[in-house]
Structures are given as C-alpha cells and as structure tokens.
Structure 1
Amino acid sequence: MARRSRWEDVKAGRGEPSSTTRAAVEQDLALGQLIHDLRVQAGLSQRELAERMGTTQSVISRLEEGGGARNRIDTLVGLASGLNRHLVLSFPEEPPSQLRDAVQVV
C-alpha cells in the first residue's frame, strides 16, 4: 500500500478554504494575469520590468503568479511606473459597471 506524502497529510488536515479565502486568491490571480498582460503588451521581459522598478525578476514572477502584492500599494505604484501606466485607487459607493485594464476588488 502506498504511503501518503507529508504534504498530502497537511492538505487533508486543512479542509476546504472559506469563500472569503477563495475570493481573495481569485483576485490575486486576476491581478497577476493583468500584470502579465500589461507587461507583455508593453513588450517587456520580466527582467526589464524589474530593472525599471528597481527590483528583481523573481519579484515580477511572483506578482504574475498572483502573490506578493496584497496590501502593498508601493509595489503597485512601482508596477504602474515601470509599465508607463497610472495607478488609480478608488473607494466609490457603487462600483462602475465596467473597468478597462483593471481588477475590481469587492
């Protein structure tokens, strides 16, 4: 009989993530995809964008994979600058019906 790995034991003990956790992960992934799409559209490699931001390629990779930017406005400002874009942070009472080049967090 095959033995389960330690990682499988850890996963089994955690159970299913809450809907809040699942939504946060989906938003992180959507932001990562947007960062990737904007970088590719700008014709930049991860390394080139990292140089513009004064960081490393591995940071850009982590951001594009959906991690590392949560609650880090300074990171998002650096991304916007590196991509020759603007970062707009808004707290409207009602969300706009459509956003272009954006990830809507509700």
Structure 2
Amino acid sequence: MLDEPWTLSPAVALRPEPFGALAYHFGNRKLSFLKRPELVTVVRGLGDHADVRAALLAAGVPEPQHASYVEALRGLAATDMIRPRTTSRETSSQVSSQTAGAPA
C-alpha cells in the first residue's frame, strides 16, 4: 500500500472535530472516526501525492510510524472511505468531478 496511489472516495465527507475528523460515506452510510489530526492530513492529501508514502511524509509522519498509519488506512479502504487511484496523476478533485456525472 505504501507505494500505491490512493484517494479519498468521492462519496465521503470529512467533518473536522477536535480529536481529528468524522468520515461519512454517503453510499454505504458508514461512519468512521479519524482520531488523529495527522491521519486526517494524510487522508485529505492522498489524492495530491504520488503514493501513500509521499502523503505520509508530507503530513510529517515519522517513518517508524508508517506501519500503524497503513493499518488505519487499510481499515478505511475496507469500508471504501479511501480507494486506489486509477493513475498516479489523478487527484482526488478529478476523481470527484469524474464520478459526480457518472450514471449510477
């Protein structure tokens, strides 16, 4: 996962909270708590970086902590809060605009 491009699902909204954020998926109605502000920064930045490792580094996550963040990201992926990007150049805003007009 570290060397793969990921992005926030276009069906997910993040609501800032004192502890981090709430992530709500409008498609499957799942709710997740992002309990660290750094994790919120990583999740928001996934679509703007070449891969997960770059998003972690940009958020200032020390390399020894990458494994625990990857574990959290895998949990978010399991509920479609985040998803793999089809290309490394595609940003989260491009995914959102492309999906918005797609038939259901």
Same fold (TM over 0.5): no
Instruction: Tell me the TM-score range normalised by the shorter chain.
Output: 0.3 to 0.5
The structure with the largest helix share of the pair is 1
The structure with the largest strand share of the pair is 2
Q: Specify which structure has the bigger relative contact order, considering alpha-carbon pairs within 8 angstroms and separated by 6 or more residues.
A: 2
Between structure 1 and structure 2, the one with the greater Rg is: 1
The normalised TM-score by structure 2 is: 0.33
